[in-house]
Structure 1
Amino acid sequence: MPVAPKMMAQLRSLIPPLNGMLHKGQSGRVGVLGGALDYTGAPYFASISSQRLGAELAHVICSPTAGGAIKSYSPDLIVHPILKEESSVDTVRSQLESILSRLHVLVLGPGLGREDYMQKFAKVALEVAKSQALYTVLDADGLYLIDRNLDIIKGYRRAVLTPNVMEFKRLSEAVKIDPSTPPEKRASLVSKALGGVLIVQKGPKDILAANTTGSEANAALSKVEEGEAVDEIVQIDVEGGLKRCGGQGDILSGTIGCFLAWGKCYEDGAYGDKSIPPSRIPILAAAGGCTVTRTASKRAFLREGRSVVTQDMLGEIGNAFAEVFGEELQGRDPARIQKL
């Protein structure tokens, strides 16, 4: 099902206006931490998809073994190959504090790998992100980090976890959820076990679940008692492509990251309005990212069919945004373009 009208209205409020009034950086600065020896495509897809959606700047924080390849993929990306195996934790922490202080969101996990030093530095990055109150997206081997360090994310409601089927199974086991629990209820139980962190359970339909308090739910336009615990569950099953490409999850983490970056700009007052509470931004961003990614997948599949690869989806992200939100928000007025 598409995003409900009331949620869509809130989501539209997070989108930066294309009125020429914003200065550099107010359309979102996204960081992606990942990229080890064997994985260079994933952080590229996550970072460039955030820009294709509309983020202004995208930084990739990676190992030197991946930095050269990622730089060669696009000159639009700002690449920081600082995750050196021989570097001390204190050195990397200092570098991360400087880089993350310039960002609105951190996407952690695409192409991260499971080498001890990459996992160690990812843990440091998450600690720094939390200390700076950054919104975060955790995917792929970022979720492997969480499976082994549940306390590092528990209760941090500015985080979004985006597990696929196998990752969700491991996460459920890590928080000791009964495997016989119906699938549609499991995501909200995982969220509750993690202190209300938003879960995006990817699958034939994306299930967004967060365990919230009554005050937060009231902001979500629900009528519940103040302080009462409540599960908010949103299902996104808009049409996607019929071929599931490896790397599509990286595009999803990038698009959610872009919406979260816009949400941070909104929270900071860049667009004037500040009526939507920060606690609402993660689920809005996830709904927007899931909808745009599924629509881009559908458009790429209709064009390429069985041969579609993730690279084909990148050129459809802007068109998918226009299809979901309308041309006027994309800033592409066909009549005006014709006159030009």
Structure 2
Amino acid sequence: MREKLDKLKEQVTEKLDQINSLENLDELRIAILGKKGELTSIMKEMGNIAAEKRAEFGKAANEVKEKIMENFDIKLAALKTRIKEEKMKTEVLDITLPGKKQNVGTLHPITQTMGMLRGIFLEMGFDVMDGPEIEQTYYNFDALNFPKDHPSRDLQDSFYIEDDLLLRTHTSPMQIRYMLEKKPPFRMVSLGKVYRSDYDITHTPMFHQMEGLMIGEDVSFANFKALLTSMVRRLFGEDRAVRFRPHFFPFTEPSAEMDVECGVCHGKGCRSCKNTGWLEILGSGMVDPNVLKEVGIDPTKYQGFAFGMGMERVAMLKFGIDDIRAYYENDVRFLDQFK
């Protein structure tokens, strides 16, 4: 049996000397070391050897196998070196040709917008919070003073998972979670995905929102108008016009919507702003006393304001985009504009 192993080793050495291509080397490797190879066949004969000689045969077989594998590795390295040298002799490199263009990706415009706003409010001393996208109706509606018959609770407007569990319709639940854990005075913002059953050129079923909250003993309506106006001017430029309109929200009183001059038509009127020259950017107002009571904050001592804005709408204003659906079509030509 030992003679078979020695003879196989000699044959492999002779055959390796004749190999001149990687393909032939691979074929020889399979023929010798493969599942049906010659060395494998010899190893299978171990069962026919007397028990007291099997250890000696196994040791010898492993030594031969290691030597054969080493010879294969040496031959492989020699072939690769020869192929590389031949390629260098024949290949011509024209250093005058222009280099290959490297395609570099960029942050999505919504991600860029969220980053800008996060930075602005961090500089203003706000905490930045995150929360669950699958939310309890208590945090999403009840604690925010939404009545049981409010339209947003309808199955056609919200995505319910269970009777008391749904995909959050706004990031406002984080205001409740935050107030239950903190004692005023404080200020915070929360950014993330929200979900509503709506789809047109200015709405998508999934979109991004940012909520803000500031509570203290002397926080006034004038404070939040000044803060939000400053935010808009820092984001869009000092010349961007803004206006506040009276509105109603269940969780704020008094309430107001904030409009920003349309970035597409610059106030002249277009389909993005429905020919008004303005785009509603956020809803805001002084936090309703009922909301403060719900989270254990004394409304006779503390007051504050809250606001919420859609990131897609803000990005439309920032970058002059006229169709919100373009964000999610994954058209590289569109995304390349924001490098």
What's the TM-score, normalizing by structure 2?
Answer: 0.24
Query: Greater share of helix residues, 1 or 2?
Result: 1
Higher relative contact order (CA 8 A, sep 6+): 1
What's the TM-score, normalizing by structure 1?
Answer: 0.24
Query: Greater share of strand residues, 1 or 2?
Result: 2
